[in-house]
Amino acid sequence: MKVTYKLDNQSEGRRLEEQSANKNYSLRDEFSSVGVQINAQERVLDAGCGTGLLSRFLIDHFCQEHFTIDAIDITENLLSFAKQESAKNDQYRHRITYMNKSITELCDQKKYHKIFSRFVFQHIPDRKLKTLALKKLWDSLLPGGKMYIIDCFGFFSHLDTPNTWLLEKIGHVENSIPIDMNVGPKLRGMLIDAGVPFECIQTRTLPFYFDTLEQREAEASLWKQRFQNANPLLVEALGELVAKRFVAEYIKEFLDPRTYIYAQKFILTISKP
């Protein structure tokens, strides 16, 4: 099955960069919560790199260590964005190699000390393909290496609101679109199915905070852009008129301070003996 990124659009690169500047998506917080360390001469894989923001962060953050990164993705628009960013800085340009490749096409001839895959598995369409992708990553990890998989739970659907029309439509959209925004807690089982011993997997969670109006407005801006990019999927699931009303009501409820939103990031650390 040919896998495509359902949010692909000319503006998606800018949205991902806007997202990463938001405290709820802080790479620094994610990495420090699990003690990510990169050493000199290591080989790193950024699997599903998007705009390359994680690769660039690693180079900036661990600037004392000379390591190299292979960054792969299936979306040409995002790879072009990533290459343009790399061209602005010699360190990025010399140390990050971008490739148009799916995780499911990795061959285990080239192995890595560290592997990262962030917000990618929610976009791999079914459990079988996700398990295959996890096996490819596990097979690409060197003995003594570590991989970090970050994805979310509750992100779209855990909105506590009295608006029953919206809740019913959220359920319908969730069941119709090939994106699983609750994939976080499922990754452990899929890793075990992929042949990873359970004692090699450690799970941590980090909450998303939507307490202040500022946090909600920042996230609502991202939702507007996600919905815009995913419009063909919404129209297919709901029809054009209902899709339009759905987006308007979702954003309105999201911004309502009485609405409670419960979402978490799952950060799995997988260590190869």
Ligand X SMILES: C[S@@+](CC[C@H](N)C(=O)[O-])C[C@H]1O[C@@H](n2cnc3c(N)ncnc32)[C@H](O)[C@@H]1O
Which residues contribute to the site for ligand X (CB under 6 A)?
3, 5, 16, 48-50, 53-54, 72-75, 78, 102-104, 118-120, 123-124, 133
With respect to ligand X, which residue has the nearer C-beta, 1 or 241? 1
- Minimum distance from residue 168 beta carbon to ligand X (Å): 26
172 exposed, middle or buried (CB, 10 Å; 0-12, 13-18, 19+)? Answer: middle
Q: Which residues pair with 266 in a beta bridge?
A: 151, 205
CA distances to 149, 180, 186, 240 from 250, in Å: 28, 18, 26, 15
- Minimum distance from residue 24 beta carbon to ligand X (Å): 13
With respect to ligand X, which residue has the nearer C-beta, 161 or 225? 225
- Minimum distance from residue 117 beta carbon to ligand X (Å): 7
CA distances to 176, 230, 243 from 236, in Å: 9, 10, 9
With respect to ligand X, which residue has the nearer C-beta, 104 or 215? 104
With respect to ligand X, which residue has the nearer C-beta, 173 or 179? 179
Which residue, among 178, 121, 131, 124, has the nearest Cα to 151 in the 3D structure?
121
Dihedrals phi, psi of 265, to nearest 5 degrees: -100, 135
CA gap 156, 17 in Å, rounded: 20
**Number of C-beta neighbours around residue 168 at 10 A:** 10
- Minimum distance from residue 73 beta carbon to ligand X (Å): 5
- Minimum distance from residue 116 beta carbon to ligand X (Å): 8
With respect to ligand X, which residue has the nearer C-beta, 166 or 218? 218
Residues in the chain: 273
- Minimum distance from residue 200 beta carbon to ligand X (Å): 22
With respect to ligand X, which residue has the nearer C-beta, 133 or 263? 133
CB 65 within 8 A of CB 37: no
CA gap 180, 126 in Å, rounded: 9
- Minimum distance from residue 138 beta carbon to ligand X (Å): 15
With respect to ligand X, which residue has the nearer C-beta, 134 or 238? 134
The residue at minimum Cβ distance from ligand X is 50
Give the residue carrying structure tokens 């994106």: 179
CA gap 25, 18 in Å, rounded: 10
With respect to ligand X, which residue has the nearer C-beta, 11 or 212? 11
Cβ-based neighbours of 34, under 8 Å, separated by 6 or more: 148, 202, 204, 267, 269
- Minimum distance from residue 195 beta carbon to ligand X (Å): 19
Q: Which residues pair with 237 in a beta bridge?
A: none
